[in-house]
Structure 1
Amino acid sequence: MTLSHWMLILLLAIAAFSIRVLGLFAGDAIRASRFAWVLDDVPGLLVVALVASSLAGQSALTWAAAAVALGVAYVTNHVILTMCVGGLAYAGLASAGPIWAVLH
């Protein structure tokens, strides 16, 4: 490898380390501010954002299975049970066949 390759690797390593260090400082600054409550809600907000973006553009079958999973999550507050029931709901609805072919 040439010197330019090594310089690029070094620059990227410094950038990655700097991002992590700045994140630590920013997290400490937020914890000490009046916006500390935001940090408590971030994990849930990230999960909702990931699920919402993955559902965009999906079929009615997927949305129906997601609605079933949401109901199970609301009632039980159990992650593994929610995943299992959501998967089973998708499989069951997919095996229903003709109904979902019309809605798709």
Structure 2
Amino acid sequence: MSGAHWALIGLLAMAAVAIRVAGLIAGGRLRASRHAWVLDDLPGLIVVSLVASSLVGQPPVTWIAAGAALGIAILTNHVIVTMVAGVAAYAGLGWLGM
């Protein structure tokens, strides 16, 4: 590898470290601010955004299975039971030919 390759690798490594340090500094400041309550709801918001973006453009059978999983999640508040119910609903609807 040439010197330019090593320079690029070094630059990218420094950028990666800088991003992590900036995240630590920003996270520390956010925890100490009046907006710290946002961090409590952040994991749930991330999951909801991932699920919502993955459902866009999916067929109705996927939406029905997601609705069944949501209902189970509300009733049980148990992640594993919710996942099993969602997969079972999707498989069952597929077996019924939907």
Q: Any idea what SS the aligned residue of 1:49 has?
A: helix
1:7 Cα deviation after fit: 0.5
| RMSD after superposition | 0.5
Counterpart of 2:9 in structure 1: which amino acid? I
When normalised by structure 2's length, the TM-score is: 0.98
* Residue 7 in structure 1 maps to residue 7 in structure 2: yes
Aligned counterparts of 2:39 and 2:85: Cα–Cα separation in 1: 30
- The aligned residue for residue 77 of structure 1 is 77
Identity of aligned residues (%): 63
Q: Structure 1: any 5+ residue segments left out of the alignment?
A: none
Aligned counterparts of 1:15 and 1:75: Cα–Cα separation in 2: 45
Aligned counterparts of 1:42 and 1:16: Cα–Cα separation in 2: 23
Aligned counterparts of 1:26 and 1:15: Cα–Cα separation in 2: 16
Counterpart of 1:68 in structure 2: which amino acid? A
Q: Structure 2: any 5+ residue segments left out of the alignment?
A: none
Aligned counterparts of 2:53 and 2:16: Cα–Cα separation in 1: 26
Q: Write out aligned runs for 1:2-41 (5 A).
A: 2-41=2-41
Counterpart of 2:64 in structure 1: which amino acid? A
When normalised by structure 1's length, the TM-score is: 0.92
- The aligned residue for residue 54 of structure 2 is 54
Q: Any idea what SS the aligned residue of 1:29 has?
A: helix
Aligned counterparts of 1:74 and 1:19: Cα–Cα separation in 2: 37
Aligned counterparts of 1:77 and 1:13: Cα–Cα separation in 2: 41
Deviations 1:49-96 (A, max 9, x none): 000000010000000000000000010000001000100000000111
Aligned counterparts of 2:32 and 2:78: Cα–Cα separation in 1: 32
Aligned counterparts of 1:20 and 1:42: Cα–Cα separation in 2: 19
